[in-house]
Amino acid sequence: MPASDGAGPRAHLTFRQPDDWHVHLRDDAMLAFAASYTARQFARAIVMPNLVPPVTTVAAAEAYRERILAVLPEDCAFTPLMTAYLTDEIDPGEVEAGFRKGVFTACKLYPAGATTNSAAGVTDVRKIWPVLERMQTIGMPLLVHGEVVSPDIDVFDREAVFLETVLGPVLRDFPALKVVLEHITTEDSIRFVEAAGPTLAATITAHHLRIDRNAMFEGGLRPHAYCLPVAKRRHHREALRKAATSGHPRFFLGTDSAPHRKHEKESACGCAGIFSAPTALESYAQTFAEEGALDRLEAFASEFGPRFYGLPLNEGTVTLRREPQDLPEVMGDGDLRIVPFHAGETLSWRFAGRSGLP
Ligand code: DOR
Ligand code: ZN
pLDDT tens-place string over residues 243-274: 999 999 999 999 999 999 999 999 999 999 99
The per-residue pLDDT for range 138-157, each reduced to its tens digit, is 999 999 999 999 999 999 99
Ligand 1 binding pocket includes 227 (Cβ within 6 Å): yes
Closest C-alpha residue for ligand 1 atom 7: 116
pLDDT at 71 over 90: yes
- Residues whose CB falls within 8 Å of the CB of residue 65, separated by 6 or more in sequence, listed in order: 47, 80, 82, 103
8 Cα: distance to centroid of ligand 2 (angstroms): 38
At 356 the pLDDT is 63
At 3 the pLDDT is 44
Beta-carbon count within 10 A of 126 CB = 13
Mean pLDDT over each residue of the chain, to the nearest integer: 96
Of the candidates 258, 193, 250, 203, the residue with the CA atom closest to the CA atom of residue 228: 258
- Identify the active-site residue in 173, 212, 256, 335: 256
Ligand 1 binding pocket includes 228 (Cβ within 6 Å): yes
Cα atoms in the Cβ-side hemisphere of radius 13 Å centred on 321: 7
Index of the ligand 1 atom closest to the CA of residue 48: 10
Q: 236-252: string of b/e by CB count within 10 Å (b at 16+)?
A: bbebbbebbbeebebbb
Cα atoms in the Cβ-side hemisphere of radius 13 Å centred on 9: 12
Ligand 1 binding pocket includes 273 (Cβ within 6 Å): yes
Ligand 1 binding pocket includes 50 (Cβ within 6 Å): yes
At 1 the pLDDT is 44
Indicate if 88 belongs to the active site: no
Tell me the mean pLDDT in the region 313-320: 97
The per-residue pLDDT for range 201-216, each reduced to its tens digit, is 999 999 999 999 999 9
Closest ligand to the CA of 274: 1
Tell me the mean pLDDT in the region 53-74: 98
Position 358 confidence tier, pLDDT thresholds 50, 70, 90: very low
- Residues whose CB falls within 8 Å of the CB of residue 91, separated by 6 or more in sequence, listed in order: none
Global confidence as pTM: 0.97
Domains in the chain (CATH in brackets) are 12-355 (3.20.20.140)
pLDDT at 5 over 60: no
For a pocket test of ligand 1, which of 115, 180, 269 has the largest count of ligand atoms closer than 8 A to its C-beta? 115
Closest ligand to the CA of 147: 1
139 Cα: distance to centroid of ligand 1 (angstroms): 26
The per-residue pLDDT for range 207-246, each reduced to its tens digit, is 999 999 999 999 999 999 999 999 999 999 999 999 999 9
118 Cα distance to chain centroid: 16
Position 8 confidence tier, pLDDT thresholds 50, 70, 90: low
At 4 the pLDDT is 45
